[in-house]
């Protein structure tokens, strides 16, 4: 346990251990301070100041809190009773929602309760469509969503193979037949948001999506700027300069609705069509259509941050993100960062990156905690703590079934941030991140951009289509013999995590991936220690210290079953000031590696001296050869292992 982690976690150790043991337990009482009471069966005309007078909505509770929290003498607790809180707008926080006098505003599950903050509308009144086996329900007029959930499980939007051969043109494709141009929705309109999907299309680690603007005869015209952003990247050392493949599949047309468990939204009539799975009774199922794109958002400013706020014991579910359906599409670069704007080059790792938003997201916040929560069934990323997040604690949470990244910390838009704009001093510990992302599969379990003094420890991250952890950015200029982007990142620690069954769908990933400048010495550089990793599904490495990394310490880790690759990456040429292209500074020592792939072009060096010190590592072929102490210390700590048997709140039926 690092000193930084020990101090930070110690601040709330007693209460959080109890919460994690039960997976969801809120504040039992607020005897030492004031409570505001919320219930789905309450009324916003109530005071909210007694259990018999609960308000109904989190927004009304927020207004009550603002009237109470200017001069706290103890923590103020917002107690959410069990049930679904169907949000019609996000809970938007500002500095006015902060604690005061060193006390915290705690948004908590009531004792024994498991509240769900949901951004969906429940679809009812399903009826059969002729004898097709299909069912239909009317949604709210004008509804837009990319997700649908049936009895608490994500349904697949209508998808299938492209039914024609395609020849690429400057504006899209010429098809071998006019099949797709003849597609029509039941309302009679041409389907307005058909999109092509390209696994590995802009690098093995990406899965870009581009919408179709129009189809006429054999001419398929793609939406702009997605087509431009995906095909005009110039000299690009982050990935290919253009889409290298034809789409592997097409999504979101009524004609593709052929398999049980698939759905389609006819936007012309706002009607949902669904083909049930065997055993599903459409007269009694719970069907949730996400509407909101944020459940909780906001934050403060550099001069007036949101501070001293905790969320504990809450399930955040059923939100969407419709950005990929717009003309910009999903022109992925890496780790669910998108290209929107000027052409990237190796010397310009600062072009207009766009990070897909999380459905629970804050910026410019201090001393904010998410403990014992769940982020599940979400159409964006799960939890996002962006620029200016300082001294946050993310501990004991479940993250699963998000469309994008599980947890996002920081961003990549301000590499030279100073003071209050830096993302610094944050702890992400004892979380279970699994089976995610499911839609934007180039996403990461835990993605960290430019950040300093981060502690990522004792998490279990498993069953991911791409990488488990990604930390750092801006190192690609070394491919052109130039220094990576100068940034404030330093002092980050990735320790004692258990990461397995990763890189299962895409390629060129890792259990733990690092990129760019990490510090200015071994003391301030990134430390990757005590992690246990196994079962990598595709290339390249369990630990990949990739482009532009420098001052890395990789020690005491264990790795086996690296698939077609090996356990550690390789030494890079270093073009930072004064280095002149010599090897980067890395200490890679005392690890237990399964290195059966040997020393290929991307192979682990058995030994190396100088700046890049690779020595004292142990060759193994299975986990049984790893010291028991390393295995025992990795992953969730004992009080949090109940997260491994977590179950979602039952659907509202």
pLDDT digits (tens, 9 = 90+) for 459-478: 999 999 999 999 999 998 88
- At 341 the pLDDT is 61
Could you tell me which residues are beta bridge partners of residue 219? Answer: 174, 216
β strands within 267-391, DSSP E: 271-274, 287-290, 296-298, 306-312, 315-317, 332-334, 337-339, 353-355, 358-362, 365-371, 374-378, 381-385, 389-390
pTM: 0.94
**SS3 of 101, please?**
coil
- Separation CA 10–CA 633 (nearest Å): 18
Nearest to 546 by CA among 596, 499, 510: 510
Token couple for 34: 């004031």
Distances (CA, A) of 458 to 1, 5, 395, 536, 634: 9, 10, 10, 19, 6
- Separation CA 382–CA 377 (nearest Å): 9
Q: Which residues of 11-23 are buried (b: 16+ CB within 10 A; e: fewer)?
A: ebeebbeebbeeb
Distances (CA, A) of 583 to 490, 491, 533, 546: 20, 21, 26, 13
The whole-chain average pLDDT of the chain stands at 92
- At 342 the pLDDT is 54
The structure tokens 């300082």 sit at 390
Give Cβ neighbours of residue 631 (< 8 Å, ≥ 6 apart): 532, 558, 623
Nearest to 362 by CA among 400, 330, 409: 409
The one-character DSSP state at 631 is: H
In the chain, which segments carry CATH 2.160.20? 3-26+109-114+291-321+356-645
Ranges of residues in the chain whose predicted pLDDT is under 50: 1-32, 346, 598-603
Burial (Cβ within 10 Å: 0-12, 13-18, ≥19) of residue 509: buried
Q: What angle do CA 136, 138, 144 make, to 5 degrees?
A: 105
**SS3 of 60, please?**
helix
Burial (Cβ within 10 Å: 0-12, 13-18, ≥19) of residue 397: buried
- At 240 the pLDDT is 84
Is the N-terminal amide bond of 116 cis, ω within 30° of 0? no
Contact 148, 155 (CB under 8 A): yes
- Separation CA 156–CA 262 (nearest Å): 5
- Separation CA 240–CA 242 (nearest Å): 5
Give Cβ neighbours of residue 281 (< 8 Å, ≥ 6 apart): none
Give the DSSP H or E segment for 427.
strand 427-429
Q: What angle do CA 542, 501, 242 make, to 5 degrees?
A: 70
- At 478 the pLDDT is 86
- At 70 the pLDDT is 83
Q: How many CB atoms lie within 10 A of CB 468?
A: 31
- Separation CA 19–CA 109 (nearest Å): 10
- At 236 the pLDDT is 57
Contact 607, 503 (CB under 8 A): no
The CATH architecture one would assign to domain 3-26+109-114+291-321+356-645 is 3 Solenoid (2.160)
- At 600 the pLDDT is 41
The distance between the two most distant Cα atoms of the chain, rounded to a whole number of Å, is 74
Nearest to 196 by CA among 157, 249, 261: 249
Query: Which phi and psi (to 5°) does residue 646 adopt?
Result: -60, 140
Nearest to 266 by CA among 248, 281, 256, 253: 253
Q: How many CB atoms lie within 10 A of CB 43?
A: 13
């Amino acid at each position: 346990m690092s000193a930084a982690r020990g101090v930070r976690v110690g601040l709330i150790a007693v209460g959080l251990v109890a919460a994690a043991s039960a997976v969801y337990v809120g504040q039992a009482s607020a005897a030492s301070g004031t409570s505001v009471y919320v219930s789905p069966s309450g009324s916003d005309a109530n005071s909210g100041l007694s259990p018999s007078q609960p308000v109904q909505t989190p927004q009304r509770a927020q207004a009550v809190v603002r009237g109470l929290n200017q001069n706290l003498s103890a923590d103020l607790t917002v107690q959410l009773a069990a049930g679904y809180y169907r949000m019609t707008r996000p809970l938007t926080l500002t500095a006015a929602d902060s604690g005061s006098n060193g006390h915290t505003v705690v948004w908590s599950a009531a004792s024994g309760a498991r509240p769900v903050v949901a951004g969906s509308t429940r679809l009812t009144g399903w009826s059969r469509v002729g004898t097709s086996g299909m069912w239909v329900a009317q949604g709210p007029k004008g509804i837009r969503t990319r997700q649908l959930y049936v009895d608490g499980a994500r349904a697949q939007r209508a998808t299938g193979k492209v039914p024609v051969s395609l020849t690429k043109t400057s504006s899209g494709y010429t098809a071998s037949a006019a099949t797709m141009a003849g597609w029509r929705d039941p309302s009679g309109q041409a389907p307005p948001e058909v999109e092509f999907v390209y696994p590995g299309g802009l690098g093995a680690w990406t899965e870009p999506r581009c919408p179709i603007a129009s189809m006429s005869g054999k001419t398929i015209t793609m939406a702009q700027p997605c087509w431009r952003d995906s095909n005009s990247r110039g000299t690009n050392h982050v990935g290919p300069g253009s889409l290298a493949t034809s789409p592997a599949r097409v999504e979101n047309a009524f004609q593709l609705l052929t398999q049980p468990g698939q759905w389609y939204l006819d936007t012309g009539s706002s009607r949902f069509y669904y083909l049930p799975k065997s055993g599903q009774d459409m007269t009694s199922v719970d069907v949730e259509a996400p509407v909101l794109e944020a459940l909780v958002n906001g934050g403060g400013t550099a001069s007036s941050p949101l501070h001293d706020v905790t969320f504990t014991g809450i399930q955040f579910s059923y939100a969407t993100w419709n950005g990929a359906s717009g003309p910009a599409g999903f022109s992925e670069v890496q780790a669910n960062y998108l290209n929107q704007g000027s052409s990237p080059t190796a010397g310009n790792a600062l072009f207009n990156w766009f990070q897909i938003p999380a459905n629970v997201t804050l910026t410019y916040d201090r001393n904010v905690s998410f403990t014992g929560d769940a982020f599940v069934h979400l159409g964006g990323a799960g939890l996002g703590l962006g620029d200016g997040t300082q001294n946050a604690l993310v501990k004991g949470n479940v993250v699963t079934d998000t469309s994008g990244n599980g947890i996002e910390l920081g961003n990549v838009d301000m590499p030279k941030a100073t003071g209050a704009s830096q993302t610094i001093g944050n702890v992400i510990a004892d979380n279970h991140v699994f089976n995610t992302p499911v839609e934007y599969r180039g996403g990461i379990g835990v993605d960290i951009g430019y950040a300093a003094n981060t502690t990522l420890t004792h998490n279990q991250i498993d069953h991911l289509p791409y990488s488990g952890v990604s930390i750092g950015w801006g190192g690609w200029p070394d491919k052109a013999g130039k220094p990576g982007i100068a940034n404030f990142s330093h002092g980050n620690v990735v320790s004692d995590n258990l990461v397995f069954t990763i890189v299962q769908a895409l390629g060129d990933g890792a259990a733990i991936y690092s990129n760019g400048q990490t510090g200015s010495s071994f003391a301030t550089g990134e430390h990757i220690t005590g992690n246990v990793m196994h079962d990598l599904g595709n290339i390249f490495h369990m630990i990949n210290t990739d482009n532009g990394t420098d001052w890395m310490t990789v020690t005491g880790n264990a790795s086996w079953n690296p698939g077609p690759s090996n356990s550690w990456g390789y030494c890079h040429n270093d073009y930072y000031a004064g280095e002149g292209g010599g090897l980067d500074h890395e200490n890679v020592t005392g690890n237990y590696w399964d290195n059966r792939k040997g020393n290929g072009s991307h192979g682990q060096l058995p030994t190396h001296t100088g700046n890049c010190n690779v020595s004292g590592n142990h060759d193994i072929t299975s986990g049984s050869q790893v010291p028991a102490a390393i295995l025992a210390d990795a992953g969730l700590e004992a009080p949090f292992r109940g997260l491994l048997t977590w179950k979602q709140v039952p659907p509202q039926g």
